[in-house]
Structure 1
Amino acid sequence: MLTLAAFDPGAAGFSALLAESQGEGHRMLLRLAENWANGSNRFLLPGEVIFGAWSGDVLVGVCGRNVDPHDTGPRAGRVRHLYVAQRARRDGVGRALIAAICEGAAEHFDYLNTNAPETAFAFYERMGFVPLAAGGHATHRLMLA
């Protein structure tokens, strides 16, 4: 059974998820841990949230929603640090995390951007995000309004 709840990088199991993500060449969870530790991003602004996904008592995924620091739009949000453990992929964890991130997002944001690795493009597009022109700080956008 999958459980989604508020999360911080001090949660049990995060270090294993971090190591796995780095082993795959990803830096999103390292940036999450560093930014949390130095206080530069704790998901505290209006509309910001961060969730963990647990299968039983094992952390299998994380995802956050921030004000987009790269977009000048006054109601621009950003999907941040989405990562799902290898053993939980294709089990609906990513879909559940994106659904949780989108829930209530329109109260604060008109759209959500993300800067996804190419291997995740198809996933985001299945979730309704549209590709953006190459070269910016975001690869995909989901309109909320």
Structure 2
Amino acid sequence: MLARTPRYRIKRLDPDHEAFAALAEESRKEGFWMLVTLANNWEDGRNRFDKRGEALFGAWLEKELAGVCGLNVDPYVKGRREGRVRHLYVGTAHRMNGVGRQLVWSAIDKARKHFPVLNTRSAQTAFGFYEALGFEPVEGEEFATHRMRLARPPTRGRQGN
């Protein structure tokens, strides 16, 4: 009999939720500080994922927060509007169940409506993960290791025939 993959629900996340604190502590103990940074930036108002096109997603298995992924306007790109995948983390008990893919696809789906390009900077161990999702390697940029070109978002105002 095949093992059944758990069904995760992806929805918007508020880092003030107590489940986020537990996941952030787990990540910190593993030596990953991205969720601690996310919590600090949320608390002091530097990044509330509230600009046009931004979102913070959580993957839930019933009442347990399994993973987190953010989408921001890329703060490292000057002069053009691009999106950025940030703070991707999946709890150890939920890895290899497709949670990371679901979270990043949620960010990609939202980004398609707002950005022509989506960037990320990841550890070398995650290069294959991003490339399997369709991101292409970027050479020679300090703040991006991978980029995905998206359909151009619609312009505001009246569209020509």
Same fold (TM over 0.5): yes
Residue 52 (structure 2) aligned to one of 46, 50, 54: 46
Instruction: Show the counterpart of 1:19.
Output: 25
| Counterpart residue identity of residue 10, structure 2 | L
User: Residues 20-67 of structure 1: CA distance to partner in whole angstroms, max 9, x if unpaired?
Assistant: 211222111111001000001001110001111111110000001000
CA RMSD between the two structures: 1.2
Give how far 1:135 is off: 4.8
The equivalent of 2:42 in structure 1 is 36
How many residue pairs match? The answer is: 145
Equivalent position to 2:65, from 37, 59, 66? 59
**1:4 has 2:10 as partner:** yes
Write the distance in 2 (CA, Å) between the matches of 1:133 and 1:32: 26
Q: Distance between the aligned counterparts of 2:90 and 2:150, measured in 1? A: 24
- Between the aligned partners of 1:7 and 1:63, the Cα distance in structure 2 is 9
C-alpha distance in 2, partners of 1:22/1:132?
A: 28
Match of 2:81 among 57, 75, 78: 75
CA distance in 2, matches of 1:122, 1:139: 12
Which has more strand, going by share of residues? 1
**For 1:91 and 1:106, how far apart are their aligned partners in 2?**
25
CA deviation profile, 1:54-85 (whole Å, cap 9, x unmatched): 11110000001000000125221100111001
Which of 98, 116, 120 in structure 2 is aligned with 1:110?
116
Work out whether residues 12 and 59 of structure 1, in 8 Å CA contact, stay in contact via their aligned partners in 2. Answer: no
Aligned pair partner of 1:140 in 133, 138, 146: 146
State how far apart, in whole Å, the 1-side matches of 2:65 and 2:127 are.
24
- Tell me, yes or no, if structure 1 residue 130 matches structure 2 residue 136: yes
Residues 1:89 and 2:60 aligned together:
no
Deviation at 1:107, TM superposition (A): 2.2
* 2:4 alignment counterpart: none
